[in-house]
Amino acid sequence: MVKLKISGMTCKHCASAITHALKGVAGVQKAEVNLELGLAEVEGSAKPETLVAAVTEEGYHAEEMM
- Write the CATH number for 13: 3.30.70.100
Confidence band (pLDDT; 50, 70, 90) for 66? Answer: confident
Confidence band (pLDDT; 50, 70, 90) for 32? Answer: very high
Q: Which domain holds residue 30?
A: 2-64
Give the total number of structural domains in the chain. Answer: 1
Q: Which of 47, 43, 24 is nearest to 32 (CA)?
A: 43
Determine what percent of the chain is predicted with pLDDT higher than 90: 98
pTM of the shown model:
0.94
Overall average pLDDT of the 2-14 stretch: 97
pLDDT digits (tens, 9 = 90+) for 36-57: 999 999 999 999 999 999 999 9
Largest CA distance in the chain: 28
